[in-house]
Chains A and B, each alone.
Chain A
Amino acid sequence: MLDLLLLGMTELLHIKLLFIILLGVIVGILAGLIPGFTVTMAIVLTLPLTFGMEPVAGVAAMIGVFVGGMSGGLISAALLGIPGTPSSVATTFDAFPMSQNGEPGKALSIGIWASFLSSIVSFFILISIAPQIADFALLLGPWEMFSLIVVSLTIIASVTGDSIIKGLITGAFGLLISTVGADPIIGIPRFSFGLDTLRAGIPFLVVLIGMFAISRLFQSLENKEMVQDKQRRQEEKLKEVKFILQPLKTMKTVMKKPGTLVGSSAIGSIIGAIPGAGGSIANIVAYDQAKKWSKNPEKFGTGCEEGVIASEAGNNSTVGGDLIPTIALGIPGSAVTAVLLSALMVHGITPGPLLIVNEPSVVGGIFSAFLIASFWMLITQFVGIRYFVKVTQVPVHMLVPIILVLCVIGTFVLNNRLTDLYILLAMGIIGYLFAKYGFSLAPAIIGVILGPIAEVNLRRAVMSDPDWTLFFTRPISLIFLVLAVLSILFTVWQSAKLKRRSAGSL
C-alpha cells in the first residue's frame, strides 16, 4: 500500500505534472461554480486534452478536476444560497445563514477546511481498502463478475432518478447500445442496420458526451431555466459580498469537531463507493446524521459550524469512496469515474482487479494525484476564491455555444471520425428526452461501459461450464444476485411507503 503510494509520488513529483494537477483543480472549481456547467462536463472535455500525455499524467489531471469540482459548489452555496452543483445542497442550509449573519469568510473557510480534511480521511480509507478488495476480486470467476455487474447496475438504478423502473429501463438501454458493433468474442459485426456509422460500434465516450454534456446544455436553454437564470444574475449583482478569510482560526474550529468531520467523511466515503450514489446524496445524508448525533441539533439551519462541516466533508469524501470500486474492480460508480476508466483504456490499460498488480505505477499515480489535488484545492481555494466568484458572471449565451463546440471537438478527436458526430447528436437528443421525463442517465452510461464486460463474462462462464444453475449455486455469485433483488424490493417498498405517507397527509 505504502510502496504503491511512493511509486506514484515518484511518478508525479515533477513540476510539469504538479502544474497539470493544479490546472485540473482550477478547471474543476470553475465547473462546480458555474451553474449549468457540471463536473462531468468538465472531466469529459478534459479527456481529449490528455490524449497526448502519459497515462499517469492524464489520469492525474482528471482527478484534479474531480477534487476541485466537488469543492467548487461551496462558493455559490455559501455566498448566494444557491448550490452550484447538487453535491452542495446541504451546504446552503448552514453556510448561507452564516454568511447572512455577517460571517461569509468564516463560512467559506470552514467549508474549504472540511473539504480538504475529509479528502484526506477518504484518501486513507481508499488506500487501505482498495487493495484488499482487489485481492478478494481476484478470486472471482466469470460467474461472480457477471453477477457483480448485475448488482452494480440494479443499485445504480435504485439510487438515481425518480423511480426504479425508469432507472432499470435506462440501464438496460445502455446495455443494449453497448452491443452495437463487433461481437467482443468472435468479432461478428452486429446491429449496423446498414449504416457505416454504426459498424464500428457506439463509442462509450460519445454516448457520455452526448448524454451528459449536450443534453444538459439543451436543458439549460429551456425558457423557464433562462428566466430563472436571469433572475439569479440580477440578485447576484446586489450581493457584492465582502469577506475576510481566516484560514488558521477556522482550521482550529474544524479540528475541534473531529467527530463530525470523521463521521461525515466516513459516510461520504461509503456512499461514494456505492455505484450510482455520489456527492449529491452524501452531503444530505452526512448533514442529517450530524444533526442526529449533535448535542444541540436545534442550532442546525441557523448557521452552525457543524452543519457546514458535515455537508462539505460529506461531498468531498465521496471522491475517495468512488475510486474504491473503480480501481479495485474496474466498476465505475459514477459518470466521472467512468471517464477515468475509459481514459485508461484509451492508453491501452485494462481496468479490473488485476490493475493494481499489472499497473502499480498507474494506481500509485491515481492515489498520489488525489492527495496532491487535495492540497492544491486547499491552496487555490484560499488564494483564488475572490477571483472565482467573478466567474459566475459568464453569460449563458457565450457558455452554451462554446461548450457545444468543445463537445464536438472532443468527440471528433477521440477516433478522428466525422460520423461519430451524428452519434453524438443522436445521443444528445436521446439524453435530453430521457432527462426531461425523469429517466436518470447514470444507469445508461454505466450500462454502456459495463455491457461488454458483462457479455464477455457471461459467455466465458457458459463456455467453461454450460450449467446455468452455477450462477445461483456458487455462493458469492448468489450473494450478489440476492443483493440485486433486495435492492429492487427495498426501493419499491420505500417508494410505496412514501406514497402512502403523502397520501395520508393530504
Chain B
Amino acid sequence: MGELVIGIILIIISITFYVTAGGFPALSDAPLQAGSFPQFIAVLLGFLSLIFVLIKAKELAGRKSGSTQESMGDKIRHFYEEHRLVLITLVSLVLYIILMQLIGFVITTIVFIVVTGYIIGPKKKKDLLILSAVAVVVTLSAFFFFENVLYVRFPSGLLF
C-alpha cells in the first residue's frame, strides 16, 4: 500500500517538474535548453514510477481477496505503537530547528538533547543527570570549536 502511494506521489512530482521545466526561458538556439535535461529525467522517473505502480496495484489486487481483514482502528493503533518514538523525535527535531532561530543555538541544543533523550530512554534520575551533563559538554564544545576554529556564526536568537 505504502509503495503504491510513493509511486503515485513520484508520478505527480515528475509531471510537476515536466510542466515547470517547459516554462524555462530559452536563451540561445542551442538544441538543449535549461529545461531539456530535467524534462528528460522527469519523463524517465514518471515512466518508471508508472510501471512500478501498475506492478504493485496488480499484486495488491491479487492479494486482497485472500487476506484477513484487520479493522482500520487496529491498524492505526498498531502503526502508532510501532512508530511512536519516530514521530515524537521528528516533532522535536522540527521544533528544535524552528526554535533555534528564536532562542539561539546553545540553549535549544541542550534542551533538545535532554528532552529527546529523556523521551526515548528510561525515566531514571541517574540517566537524566548523565544525559544533561553530556548534552552541555557536547553543545559547548561544538559551539566553541566551530565559532573559534572555523568562524561559523551560529544563530544567537532574537532575545539575546
Contacts and interface: CB of A to CB of B under 8 A. Distances in A.
A504 interface: no
A402 interface: yes
Contact of A418 (B81, B96, B101, B109): B101
A166 B52 CA distance: 8
Contact of A188 (B27, B86, B131): B27
Interface in B63-100: 81-86, 89-90, 93-94, 96-97, 100
A456 B83 CA distance: 42
Nearest to B80: A223
Contacts of A416: 152-153
B5 to A, nearest CB: 9
Contacts of A226: 85
Interface stretch (A129-137, A173-181, A251-259, A376-384): A173-181
Given A176-B38, A193-B20, A422-B97, A222 B86 contact: yes
A173 B10 contact: yes
Interface residues of B, number: 70
A102 interface: no
B119 to A, nearest CB: 8
B34 A186 contact: yes
B138 A165 contact: no
B12 interface: no
B160 to A, nearest CB: 16
- Judged by DSSP, the binding face of A is helix
Contacts of A48: 146, 150
Nearest to B154: A412
Contacts of A375: none
Given A397-B121, A402-B113, A169 B45 contact: yes
A412 B32 CA distance: 35
A228 to B, nearest CB: 13
Interface residues of A, number: 64
A437 to B, nearest CB: 5
- Judged by DSSP, the binding face of B is helix
A404 B31 contact: no
B150 A165 contact: no
Interface in A152-197: 165-166, 168-169, 172-173, 175-176, 179, 183, 185-186, 188, 190-191, 193
A438 B6 CA distance: 11
Interface stretch (A267-275, A306-314, A458-466): A458-466
A434 B7 CA distance: 11
Contacts of A214: 93
Given A176-B13, A402-B135, 17 more contacts: A165-B51, A217-B89, A222-B86, A223-B82, A397-B117, A401-B89, A405-B139, A405-B142, A413-B150, A416-B153, A418-B101, A425-B97, A428-B93, A438-B3, A455-B37, A459-B30, A459-B32
Interface of B: 2-3, 6-7, 10, 13-14, 17, 20-21, 24-25, 27-28, 30-32, 34-38, 41-42, 44-45, 48-49, 51-52, 55, 81-86, 89-90, 93-94, 96-97, 100-101, 109, 112-113, 116-118, 120-122, 127, 130-131, 134-135, 138-139, 142, 145-146, 149-150, 152-155
21 contacts: A165-B51, A165-B55, A166-B52, A169-B10, A173-B10, A176-B45, A190-B24, A193-B20, A222-B86, A402-B138, A404-B93, A405-B138, A405-B139, A405-B142, A412-B152, A425-B94, A425-B97, A438-B3, A458-B32, A459-B32, A459-B36
- Counting from the closest, the 3 A-B pairs by CB-CB distance are A397-B121, A172-B45, A401-B116
